[in-house]
Structure 1
Amino acid sequence: MTIIRLVYAAALDLRTDEAYYWTWSKELQLCFLDHPPMIAWFIRLGTALFGDTNLGVRFAGILAMGATQLLLADIVRRATHNMRAVIIVVLLPEAALYYGLLMAKVAPDVAVIPFALAMIWALVRLAESDDGRWWLAAGLFGGLALLSKFTVVMLLPGVAAFLLVPAWRSRWLFSPYPWCGALIALAVFSPVLIWNVQHDWASFRFQFVRATAPHELSLRTLGDYIGLQFGQVGFVLLPVTLSALSFTAWRGYRTREPVAILLSTAVLVPFLYFLWKSFTLRIGDTWPMFMWPIGFAAVAINIVKLPQDGAPAWFVRSTVRWARIAVVSGIAMVVLIFLYYVAAPWNFLGRADPIGAEAGYQQVAARAEQELKSSGATWIATSDYRTYAMMRWFFRGRVPVIQINERARFIGFRDPGMNLIAGHAGLYVVREPDNAGPLLADTTAHREPLGRVERSWRGRVMDTYAFGRLTGWTPELAPPPDSPLYQWRWLAGEFDSAPRA
């Protein structure tokens, strides 16, 4: 399965968000508007080893998957002392599409998953050893998780329940170790705080606006959320995991057992929160992915604990059988999907295909190369971060690329080469129908249409892009915060009903 992930990582073109995070890895920033900086550092590690290649950008995800499995194995080993349970928990992530294959797709979740799980592992070690110093390790890993993605704060109810519900709460509340652990987490997270203090809390406001944007009640977004969980976790594995978490919660809160309380609360609370939010907001496909590996640990532990709880033999056998079915069917599905994207020539999903929808940008880049030569343009302008990222990825610094709007995304970025921009013609590359928008209306820019190109994948047109020659204007890299070219679309009131994570 690791070989499959390596082949997938090397063979498939980068998706737009992956290329966007790659552009971050070229900057030395304490934080970014969209996310904390850890994913940029992960990519920097991979590209230092393998260069600016598909595998280089994605390599850290391969390492993260291995670290996740090792942590799961040790959590279950310490909780059960049962090698069969350890084998099951190592195989369960392989049976889930997101982990078995898509951990090779770089995203902030690739960084947050091993650190979040390492925090849980440290707390399991604390429960096993009763050594308060493990609070310090938990604080370190918790801070690294926060440095990866903000949604990891949803694990705090699980940590709080682990601290307060068991009989040890008075001892730990009056111990310095938990509070020192919290201070360590805050210190590790401090680069993000420093950057936000310097930039008017931009990334916090960005995430807050996204989470609180007004939306109408929608059963469609609820269905999207549930469907995504079945698709990315597994049609068998998801109910198996939720069932195990329910039994683990019942066992933990009935007996006040710390590890059971920790595992169940750390998953069920964010799962139910996302379920509630999905009535009015489309939940991004990766948002809940940090929590499910913790649920996989609960599945393996539950198999061992059920007989100890006095569960009927038939029920125990059924639980084991369904876990095995989840592993076998899930791994088979992951392999089939891998073969579909790597080896098959067909497009069964049309424009709805999640990989195909972001493929084919080399066609846009090739046409842009031609237009640069024929029009005499020396730089490329775009109006969305996806096109910006893909143009930077394909041109690799040979031509300056500027996203002329949403400049808040690029706070602190290096000069892309203003000597090649100021006073020179630019090539405007924009997806239709955005080319008809009023973005340049209040500027001095003159746009001369140059043509169009279709972006296609496996014979299906995914998007059409328009090209234009820009003259008479130099984009402002750092416009004032009240400028429409500075604000991100969420703050400008353009609330997307289907935001991407």
Structure 2
Amino acid sequence: MTLLRTVYASAIELRTDEAYYWTWSKEVALGFLDHPPGIAWLIRFGTAIFGDTTLGVRFGGIVAMLVTQLLLADIVRRLTHDVRAVVFAVLMPEAALYYGLLMAKVAPDVAMIPFAMAMMWSLVRLAQSGDGRWWLAAGLFAGLSMLSKFTAIMFAPAVAAFLLVPDWRWRWLRSPYPYLAVLVAIAAFSPVLIWNAQHDWASFRFQGVRATANYGISLRTLGDFIGLQFGLVGFVMLPVVLTGLVLTAWRGARMREPVAILLSTAVLVPFLYFLAKSTTLRVGDTWPMFMWPVGFAAAAVNLATMAKENWSARMLSSSVFWARTAVGSGIAFVVIVFLYYVAAPWNLLGKIDPIGAEAGYEQVAARAQAALDETGATWIATTDYRTYAMMRWLFRGRVPVIEINERGRFQDFRDPGMDRIRGHAGIYVGREPDDRSSLWENIPAKREPLGEVERSWRGIRSDTYVIEKLTGWTPELSPPKDSPLFQWKVLADCLPSPGGGGSIARSASGVG
């Protein structure tokens, strides 16, 4: 399965967000508007080995999956001493589409998951040994997980319950180690705090829009969330994991067992939060993925624990059957999806295909290169971060690429090559209808239409792009924060429309 992910990582062109994170890996900033810098560092690790290739960008995700599985195996080994439970724990993520295949698709969650699992592993070691120094390790890994994605904070209720609910609470409340762990976590997370303090707390404001958005009850977004969990975790695996979590939570509540409380709360609290949030907001496909590896550990431990309790033979046999079915059917599904994207010639999902919808940028880049050759222009302009990222990825520094708006996304980015931009003509590459946006009222460039190009995948058109020549203007890299060219957009695909169909875009300025 690791070889399968490696082939996938090498064969499938980058998606737009992956290319965007790759652009971050070329910077030395302490933080970024959208997320902490962990994913940029993970990509830099891979490209240092394999260069600026698709495998280089995604290699960190392949390593992250292996580290996650090793931590899962050791957690279950320590709690059960059952080889079959350990094997089950290792195979469960292989049978879940998001982990078995899509951990090769880099995202901030990919950088966060191994650190979050390392935090859980440290707390398991703490519970078994009673050595307070494991709090310090847990604090370090907690800070590193936050340095990758803010949603790691959703493990805080589980850690608090682990500390306060068991009978040992007064021992640890009187100990300096939990408090020192908090300081260690803050120190590890400090690059994000420093960057935000220097930039009006921009990334906290950006993410705050998503966390507080509410557009009324929508059964569509609720159905999207539930369907995504079945698709990405597994149609059989999801019920198996949830059942294991509920039984683990019951044991933890009945016996005040620290690890059972930790594992069950770490998944059930975020799951219930996202479930409630999905009634008013489209929950992103990756948002809940940080928590399910902990659920895999709980489910594997639950199987071994049931065998030691007074469960009926029929119930034990049924539990083992469904666990094996979940793993077998899940791995088969992962392999089928792999073959569909790597070897099949069809597009069975049309425009909603998650890979196909972001493929075909090579066609746009080829037309942009032709326009550069025809006009003698020396740089490329875009008006959305996705096109910007893909043009930077495909041109690999041969031509300066700049997004002329949303400059709040690019604070502390290095000079893109203004000596090749200032006083020279440029090529605008924009998706229709961005070429007719009111934004252009603030840009005094002379625009000359050069043509259009379609972006398609396996015969299905996704978008049409306009190619124009720009003259008489030099873009401003650092416009005032109240300028329309500084303001960034909060992604429309995260926000449902009030009417329940389509989506709406939101804007937020750098000063909130």
TM-score, shorter chain, exceeding 0.5: yes
2:162–2:259: 8 Å Cα contact kept in structure 1?
Answer: yes
Amino acid at match of 1:280: T
Aligned to 1:399: 399
Aligned to 2:37: 37
Aligned to 1:369: 369
Aligned to 1:352: 352
Is 1:292 aligned to 2:312, yes or no?
A: no
Alignment CA distance shift 1:44-1:496 (3 Å): farther
TM-score, normalised via structure 2 length = 0.96
Using the TM superposition, give the Cα deviation of residue 375 of structure 1 relative to its aligned residue in structure 2, in angstroms: 1.7
Amino acid at match of 1:435: D
Distance 1:486 1:220 in 2: 33
Distance 2:107 2:448 in 1: 37
Q: CA deviation digits over 1:164-209, x for unaligned, max 9?
A: 0000000001100111111100000000000000000000000001
Distance 1:443 1:67 in 2: 49
Using the TM superposition, give the Cα deviation of residue 437 of structure 1 relative to its aligned residue in structure 2, in angstroms: 1.1
Distance 1:251 1:499 in 2: 44
Aligned to 2:428: 428
Is 1:327 aligned to 2:327, yes or no?
A: yes
Amino acid at match of 1:122: S
Secondary structure in 2 aligned to 1:306? Answer: helix
Distance 1:314 1:333 in 2: 28
Q: Which moved more, 1:214-223 or 1:385-394?
A: 214-223
Aligned to 1:128: 128
Alignment CA distance shift 1:204-1:8 (3 Å): same
Aligned to 1:61: 61
Aligned to 1:87: 87
Amino acid at match of 2:29: Q
Q: CA deviation digits over 1:219-262, x for unaligned, max 9?
A: 10001100100000000000110011000000111100011000
Distance 1:437 1:167 in 2: 62
Distance 1:207 1:453 in 2: 34
1:429–1:465: 8 Å Cα contact kept in structure 2?
Answer: yes
Distance 2:149 2:174 in 1: 30
Using the TM superposition, give the Cα deviation of residue 94 of structure 1 relative to its aligned residue in structure 2, in angstroms: 0.3
Aligned to 1:337: 337
Amino acid at match of 2:58: R
Distance 1:26 1:111 in 2: 17
Q: Provide structure 2 residue ranges, at least 5 long, that are not aligned to the other structure.
A: 498-502, 506-512
Q: CA deviation digits over 1:58-109, x for unaligned, max 9?
A: 0000000000000000000000010110000000000000000000001111
Q: CA deviation digits over 1:258-309, x for unaligned, max 9?
A: 1100000000000000001101110000000000000000111000111333
Q: Provide structure 1 residue ranges, at least 5 long, that are not aligned to the other structure.
A: none
Aligned to 1:228: 228
Distance 1:156 1:472 in 2: 54
Sequence identity percentage: 72
Distance 1:395 1:432 in 2: 22
2:391–2:401: 8 Å Cα contact kept in structure 1?
Answer: yes
Aligned to 1:12: 12
2:282–2:495: 8 Å Cα contact kept in structure 1?
Answer: no
Secondary structure in 2 aligned to 1:441? Answer: helix
Using the TM superposition, give the Cα deviation of residue 424 of structure 1 relative to its aligned residue in structure 2, in angstroms: 1.3
Q: CA deviation digits over 1:406-443, x for unaligned, max 9?
A: 10100000010111111211111000122111111122
Q: CA deviation digits over 1:5-46, x for unaligned, max 9?
A: 000000000000000000000000111000000100000010
Distance 2:92 2:491 in 1: 40
Using the TM superposition, give the Cα deviation of residue 496 of structure 1 relative to its aligned residue in structure 2, in angstroms: 6.9
Using the TM superposition, give the Cα deviation of residue 499 of structure 1 relative to its aligned residue in structure 2, in angstroms: 9.1
Distance 2:61 2:128 in 1: 30
Alignment CA distance shift 1:30-1:496 (3 Å): farther
Secondary structure in 1 aligned to 2:465? Answer: strand
Secondary structure in 1 aligned to 2:440? Answer: coil
Distance 1:491 1:64 in 2: 27
Aligned to 1:266: 266
Alignment CA distance shift 1:19-1:376 (3 Å): same
Using the TM superposition, give the Cα deviation of residue 382 of structure 1 relative to its aligned residue in structure 2, in angstroms: 0.3
1:206–1:491: 8 Å Cα contact kept in structure 2?
Answer: no
Superposition RMSD in Å = 1.4
Amino acid at match of 2:301: I
Aligned to 2:191: 191
Aligned to 1:419: 419
Distance 1:430 1:109 in 2: 29
Is 1:256 aligned to 2:256, yes or no?
A: yes
Aligned to 1:475: 475
Q: Which moved more, 1:19-28 or 1:468-477?
A: 468-477
Distance 2:175 2:348 in 1: 59
1:112–1:152: 8 Å Cα contact kept in structure 2?
Answer: yes
Is 1:155 aligned to 2:167, yes or no?
A: no
Is 1:144 aligned to 2:144, yes or no?
A: yes
Distance 1:491 1:282 in 2: 11
Amino acid at match of 2:270: P
Secondary structure in 1 aligned to 2:380? Answer: strand
Alignment CA distance shift 1:491-1:393 (3 Å): closer
Q: Which moved more, 1:250-259 or 1:209-218?
A: 209-218
Amino acid at match of 2:332: A
1:116–1:145: 8 Å Cα contact kept in structure 2?
Answer: yes
Using the TM superposition, give the Cα deviation of residue 321 of structure 1 relative to its aligned residue in structure 2, in angstroms: 0.7
Distance 1:113 1:218 in 2: 30
Distance 2:310 2:147 in 1: 43
Distance 1:310 1:436 in 2: 69
Distance 2:203 2:161 in 1: 29
Secondary structure in 2 aligned to 1:157? Answer: helix
Distance 1:266 1:477 in 2: 42
Distance 2:49 2:475 in 1: 35
Aligned to 1:77: 77
Aligned to 2:500: none
Amino acid at match of 2:16: T
Distance 1:442 1:362 in 2: 30
Alignment CA distance shift 1:400-1:58 (3 Å): same
Structure 1 residue ranges (4+ consecutive) displaced by more than 4 angstroms after TM superposition? 494-500
Q: CA deviation digits over 1:130-172, x for unaligned, max 9?
A: 1111000000100000000000100000000000000000000
2:215–2:496: 8 Å Cα contact kept in structure 1?
Answer: no
Q: CA deviation digits over 1:468-488, x for unaligned, max 9?
A: 111121111001111111011
TM-score, normalised via structure 1 length = 0.98
Amino acid at match of 1:283: V
Alignment CA distance shift 1:495-1:328 (3 Å): closer
1:73–1:89: 8 Å Cα contact kept in structure 2?
Answer: yes
1:209–1:491: 8 Å Cα contact kept in structure 2?
Answer: no
Using the TM superposition, give the Cα deviation of residue 330 of structure 1 relative to its aligned residue in structure 2, in angstroms: 0.1
Amino acid at match of 2:52: D
Q: Which moved more, 1:482-491 or 1:258-267?
A: 482-491
